Amino acid sequence: MGQSHPPFRFTGTRRLVGGVRRWFTVAAGALALTGGLIAGSPPASAAGLTQVTGFGTNPGNLSMYTYAPDALPADAPLVVALHGCTQSASDYFAHSGWPKFADAYGFALVFPQTSSANNANSCFNWFDPGDSARGQGEALSIRQMVDKAVSLYGSDAGRVHITGLSAGGAMTANMLAAYPDVFAGGAIGSGLPARCASGVSAAYACMYSPPDKSPAQWGNLVRSAAPAGTTSWPRVAIWQGTADTTVKPANATELRDQWTNVWGIGQTPSRTESLSGGTTLSVYDDASGRPAVEVYSVAGMGHGLAVEPGDGTEQCGSTGTYYLDTVCSSYHTARFWGLDDDPGTGALPSPTGLTVTGTTDSTASLSWKAVDGAASYNVYRGGAKVGTTASTSYTDTGLATGTTYRYTAAAVDLAGATGGVSSAVAATTTGFTPTCHTAGNYDHTVAGRAYQSGGHTYAEGSGQAMGLWNAFTRHTLKQTAPSYYVVDDSGCSA
> Which sequence positions are flagged as catalytic?
166
CA neighbor of 351 nearest in space, from 409, 394, 390, 405: 409
Q: What share of the chain is helix, strand, coil (3-state, %, to 5)?
A: 20, 30, 50
d(CA 368, CA 391): 9
- Residue 184: how many CB atoms within 10 A of its CB? 20
Are 124 and 168 in contact by the 8 Å Cβ rule? The answer is yes
Q: Helix 167-178 crosses helix 137-153 at what angle (to 10 degrees)?
A: 80
Give me the DSSP letters along 182-244.
T-SEEEEES---TT--SSHHHHHHHHHS-----HHHHHHHHHHHSPTT-----EEEEEEETT-
Nearest to 296 by CA among 264, 333, 244: 333
What is the CA angle 186-237-232, rounded to 5?
Answer: 55
CA-closest candidate to residue 406, choices 421, 420, 392, 425: 425
Identify the H or E element spanning 389: strand 384-389
Burial of 52 (0-12, 13-18, 19+ CB in 10 A): middle
Dihedrals φ, ψ of 469, to 5°?
A: -85, 95
Name the residue among 27, 35, 30 with its Cα closest to residue 321.
35
Q: Write the burial class of residue 480 (CB in 10 Å: 0-12 exposed, 13-18 middle, 19+ buried).
A: middle
Phi (first) and psi of residue 23, to 5 degrees: -100, 145
Q: Decide if 292 contacts 284 (C-beta within 8 A).
A: yes
Residue partners of 351: CB distance under 8 A and separation at least 6: 368, 369, 371, 377, 392, 409, 410, 411, 422
CA nearest neighbour of 206 among 30, 456, 440: 30
8 Å CB contact between 58 and 147:
no
Closest by Cα among 233, 229, 249, 240 to 175: 233
Q: CA nearest 111: which of 101, 100, 103, 99?
A: 99
Angle between helices 215-225 and 250-263 (to 10 degrees): 70
